[in-house]
Each structure stands twice: as C-alpha cells, then as structure tokens.
Amino acid sequence: MVTIENDCFSISQICESGQCFRLDPVSENIYELIAADRYLEIEIQRGEDGREKTVFSCTQEEYSRFWKIYFDLDASYSDYIKQIDGKDDYLKAAAEFGRGIRILRQDIWEMILTFILSQQNNIPRIKKLIRVLSEKYGEERKTPEGKKYFAFPTARSLAAASEEELRSLKLGYRSRYICKTAKQVAEEEINLTELSEMSYKDAREELMKLSGVGGKVADCICLFALHQMDAFPVDTHIRQVLDVHYADGFPFDRYKGCAGVMQQYIFYYDLKGGGEK
C-alpha cells in the first residue's frame, strides 16, 4: 500500500473529468482503475486532521515506476493555478472547483480508440463500449487476490476483427473507423512510439492520418496520452464557454505549457454545473 496527501489530487474529480474511462467507483470511498494491462484499487481516507488521503493498493516500486507517472504526481498543479490571471474570475472559479484534476499520462493506443468511440457519445456509453471491447478482445488477467479483469485490446487483436463483428457490439458507424485505424497501427503505417518524440503540431497532424481522427479527437489524444500540455480540445462545452467568457479569444500565450490544464478546469466546471450556462 502507498498513501499520499495532495491538495491538488482528487480521484473522484479525475473520474468525472472526461479523460479516463476505466476508472470507476465501487463503493463510496473506493475506486478501481484498469490502465492498459494494470489494475489498481484506490481508497479515499480522511486523516485525523481532516485532510484527505489517497491509498493505492500497490507496492512502492509499482507506484514509483508507473502510477506516480500516470497521475502526473511530480508536477505542481498549484503552480498552474497561480498562473491564472487575477482578473479572470471565471477561470479562477473553475480552477478552484476542479483543483483535484490532473492530466493523466495514459497509453496512446488506448486514447486513440477511446476518443474515436467518444464521438457523438456520452460518458456512461463510452465506458460500456470499452468494457465490451476489452472483454471480447482483451487478454484476461487476475490480480494477486484473484480478481479477474481484462487488459485493453491491442491494435493487432482489433485489426483481426471484422466491421460486422464490431457493429454487433453496438459500436455503430465507429466500427468502420476502428477497423481501419487498428490496421493502420498494427501495420505501423503510424508509428506510435515516434509520436511521443514529436512536437504538438506534428503529432496532431500525424494522428489525423488515422481513420476517424479529426482535430478535436487528435487534441484529446495529444493531451491525455502524449501529455502535450498546449493541446486544448474544443467540444460543445468548451465552445459555449469560449463564446460567453472569451469572446475576444482565449489567452493561450499566458498559459503556454499548461493550456490543457485550464481546458480541463473549464470542461469539468461546465460539465458539473459550476459555471454559467
């Protein structure tokens, strides 16, 4: 077990932030997370001083080698918040409302498939589709305690599936995109390893060569997998906020290197009803 304290880290907020779809509550204070082929149970506790603590069900070595990096726990998100313009009341309120959100460092193939599925979809349905795909095409694994779970399906395993098979799982028109994209990745038309070495602009352009990946989906992949912190995905929620609060344009120059963090604060604030409609 590994216990951490951090006033800019909230599993419940991350769970509802729209960037991770295999993180789920199993009880009031316990969450489970499957990332690629790993399983983690997370418990939220309150110390005697009233401060929230997070307990990871893993060894110190696994925490240091994987989960600490995954949750971006070396970065100071309080420093990001301090960069917010003191006159920007909306963004200050959004950051305070969602101050426990972090930009996760997720697997790139998982994010490609996830955000293709996210198009014209809602969070509960995206979660269901990922679960169905993982159970059918992912490898079965077990925790040391014997709990069964499924690894995320590889590009090769999905490349072998037909469009008709995927449609039978209720993926709809996205089935065509997934079939073609899985083949592109499995046959290395797009080298995923090389993407992590590219600039944000070049990675975005390369990702858009994949079937079903437009600008918004490419930005999500850049932000939530490649950790390109200048990526700023614009969906309906974000567009409405920009139109109302940033009619003259969002101040990207001020937030160079952390614009994606600000996007998540805005998205979560609007999604959860904290901001004005």
Catalytic positions, written as ranges: 216
Closest alpha carbon to 5 in 53, 74, 49, 43: 53
CA 239/CA 267 separation, integer angstroms: 10
Neighbouring residues of 105: CB distance < 8 A, sequence distance ≥ 6: 69, 70, 71, 72, 225, 227
H/E stretch holding 30? strand 30-35
Tokens representing 110 are 């998982």
CA 268/CA 277 separation, integer angstroms: 13
CA 98/CA 8 separation, integer angstroms: 9
CA 19/CA 111 separation, integer angstroms: 9
